[in-house]
Chains A and B, each alone.
Chain A
Amino acid sequence: MENEQKFHGQGRRDFVKQTSMLAGGLLALPILSKANYFSGSSDVIKIALVGCGGRGTGAATQALSTKENVQLVAMADAFADRLNDSYNNIKEALGDKASRVNVPEKNKFIGFEGYKQAIALADVVILTTPPGFRPIHFEEAIRQGKHVFMEKPVATDPAGIKRVLDAAAIAKQKKLNVVVGLQRRYQNSYRELYKRAQNGIIGDILSMQVWWNQGALWVKPRKPEYSEMEYQMRNWYYFNWLCGDHIVEQHIHNIDVGNWFKNATPQTAGGMGGRAVRTGKEYGEIFDHHYVEYRYADGVVMNSQCRHWKDAPSKVDEEIVGTKGRIYCDKAQIVDHKGKVLYQFDKKKENNPYQTEHDELFAAIAKGEYKFADAQRGAEATLSAIIGRLATYSGQVINWDTALNSGLNLQPKVYAFDAPPPVLPDASGNYAYAKPGITKYFVS
């Protein structure tokens, strides 16, 4: 192949420099040089895992289960125990593919800073730390010219969203594939429903309803040896600088489906929420329920509800209502307004979307194709959820642009175990949480 010969043996960065000087014609070619995708002359795709919790371990295992010639070469995590468990669990889960794990001790990086070195060793980086870290990690991965798989959400505050959007623009210029773990976009049933919606089967969208209503989640008990920073990192779900609240961390999936089917992002969010049942100090500062009315530019409303109430009925779903019919996403069914079924996806044809994300990403990388630019829409979905949180926390209607440009930044000044995290408990160990109507304009 012509490209291949031309750029054989060149480093990725050289290639980027060179392509930027070349005529646009080359960039328009569907197949780019392999040199754009591999750090060495071998055809092994090297992977670094940054964030070794259960989901990171799962994502790494999925990446290593693809058909391509892949190897895990580096791992980074704040905690040694998490990293070592992850290393062992990946090997065990891979079974006869365990030889794809090739992480010598010197490539296991513990602490807050190791991500930079781990990223440097890889062609593809998996970013699966708590979401508060995502912007700095994504920024670094793109700076170093790596392809990325990153979990949703991609930030917890508007300042982080800005960083991700900026890095996303650079990723596009560099033609770095980025997949974001909004896996419904990679799920067969959703793809079929979307295709039909695009073809007009339900007419124009009038409204949408999205839910993530479920029970309780894990809590890690405080241990005397923990610093406050370590305690919050281990219980990252309950602190907004790390998690963004459950509307951001989980409900983002459903909100993203709304944006996807609507082909738009909301202009405003207004709503309510609070802590009705999950009130203990072990639950940090997050709410246990949110109800948000998202309004798009054309007036279409998406009603969104999410909650963590353990003995109330659960529902995780999306419903899209159009002029000619409606879509029930979880049932993978489209009906007209008289209830007649217009389309029913055969659930036997459902895939494992978590695996498909990696299959498609790594296939593209191996072929030297540039196909995935999820970062921007990942950032948009995340900001959609964040303005929901800002609305429920403040009791105010939040405007998309105002929020995005607010500079609101929840991150600590210093990332270190002996540094103070941005929120601290009072003398009895309780954390302040938002009081709608009293809490000032979207400050958490």
Chain B
Amino acid sequence: MTRYYVTLLLGGMLSNSTAVQAQQTFTPYEQQIPGTTVSFKMMPIKGGSFTLGSPDNEKGRNKDEGPAKNVTIADFWMGATEVTFDEYDIYADAEKDKTPIPDGMTRPSPPYIDLTLGMGKAGGFPANSMSQYGALMYCKWLYAKTGVFYRLPTAAEWEYACRAGAKTAYPFGTDESQLKKYAWFKENSGEKYHKVAQLQPNAWGLYDMLGNVAEWTLDQYDESGVANATATDPWTMPVAKMSRVIKGGNYNDAAPALRSAARLKSDPVWNRRDPQIPKSSWWNADAPFIGFRIVRPAKQPTPEEAEKFFEEIIDKYKGSR
């Protein structure tokens, strides 16, 4: 995929697209999943500039968070919450999808064991354990269902939205003792994830950005990802099935892993107990702590561009995790 496409799809600067734009004022909205009563809330994230990564002196900082860089991000909407199983299962479970699935689109195979591990499924629990491929395929399905192009956030978009204007280690400052008001993590989670939106949102109305399930982003993991970030809509494009950048920390993590700048690298060990070969493309047998949230770029791609995106980012890396 050329950089030209990349820029377009990230809602960037080029404007010669003849895309049929799904018209939408830049305000919060509810997206209903067609044929169901299930809906999810999207929050407008007004673009702007911010410092990606963390300063050298941030407590708990890792090398891959810098050197910090000033970057500019275009407008997008972001899910107010992590994608829940109530939503994801409409894709994953044919019996719940009352409108026909588009031709040629596959659904996740049932996992060998129920990967919620008893932590909860229906009623607002975050979808978990899916591979990045499974998360991206949900976006593709959702696009086919709604006509709106949704995708995973880039690591930069994620961090921009998480910080919500804050330059400190956490969106609310640096005082770790405040974390329990906003995040399910090691200190308060009881070793399990919780229903979404039970704690306080950040300043831009986003719940559980930190903790609960950690979240997939669209970036290939590269230790120099921040150092090499472009000035506008940075994105380390996928070049292989592994590893990808995960943000936000999870319910088992200690506070430093929940910092806005912290980056986690997906790991093959997260699927080592899948006893089958080929291993499931859809699920990680040992990563109940992974989930995702979706974004909608304000500038929507044309159908051709969207198709190209799915080919280059999803089909080419089937089973990415």
Band of interface residues on A: 20 to 34
- Given A218-B109, A311-B121, A311-B122, are A354 and B114 also a contact pair (CB < 8 Å)? no
Residues of chain A within 8 A (CB-CB) of B93 are: 310
Contact across chains for B277 and A58 when beta carbons are under 8 A apart? yes
Q: Indicate which residue in A90, A213, A215, A353 contacts B277 across the interface (CB closer than 8 Å).
A: A90
Closest approach, in angstroms, between the C-beta of B274 and any C-beta of chain A? 8
Contacts of A203 in B (CB 8 A): none
Query: Contacts A54-B278, A57-B278, A313-B120 hold; do A354 and B113 have CB atoms under 8 A apart?
Result: no
A216 touches B276 (CB 8 A): no
Q: Is the CB of A58 within 8 A of B110?
A: no
B89 CB, min distance to chain A CBs, angstroms: 8
Least CB distance, A187 to chain B, in whole angstroms: 9
Chain B residues, Cβ within 8 Å of A313: 116, 118, 120-121
- Of all chain B residues, which has the CB nearest A250? B113
Instruction: Given the known inter-chain contacts A57-B276, A57-B278, A90-B277, please indicate yes or no for A216 contacting B110, CB distance below 8 A.
Output: yes
Residues on B with C-beta less than 8 A from A218 are 109-110
A314-B118 contact, Cβ under 8 Å, with A215-B110, A218-B109, A218-B110 = yes
**Contact check: which of B109, B111, B118, B279 meets A315 at CB < 8 Å?**
B118
The binding surface of chain B is classed by DSSP as: loop
Query: Quick check: B276 and A54 within 8 Å, CB to CB?
Result: yes
User: Which of chain A's residues have a CB closer than 8 A to the CB of B116?
Assistant: 313-314
Measured between alpha carbons, how far is A289 from B71 in the docked complex, in Å? Answer: 55
Quick check: A214 and B114 within 8 Å, CB to CB? yes
Known: A310-B93, A311-B121, A311-B122. A316 touches B113 (CB 8 A): yes
Whether A97 sits at the interface, judged by CB under 8 Å, is no
Is A352 part of the contact surface with B, judged by Cβ < 8 Å?
yes
Decide if A93 is an interface residue (CB 8 Å cutoff): yes
Q: How far is the CA of A183 from the CA of B273 in the complex (A)?
A: 10
Contact A58 B276, beta carbon cutoff 8 Å? yes
Chain A 382-410 near chain B by CB (<8 Å), digits 1 or 0: 00000000000000000000000000000
Q: Is B275 in contact with chain A by the CB < 8 A criterion?
A: yes
**Complex contacts, B276 vs chain A, CB 8 Å:** 54-55, 57-58
A89 touches B110 (CB 8 A): no
Which B residues fall within an 8 A CB radius of A? 93, 109-111, 113-114, 116-118, 120-122, 272-279
A-B contact pairs, 11 of them (CB 8 A): A55-B276, A57-B276, A58-B279, A93-B278, A183-B275, A218-B109, A313-B121, A314-B113, A314-B118, A314-B121, A352-B273
Closest 6 CB pairs of A and B: A314-B114, A54-B276, A57-B277, A214-B114, A58-B277, A315-B118
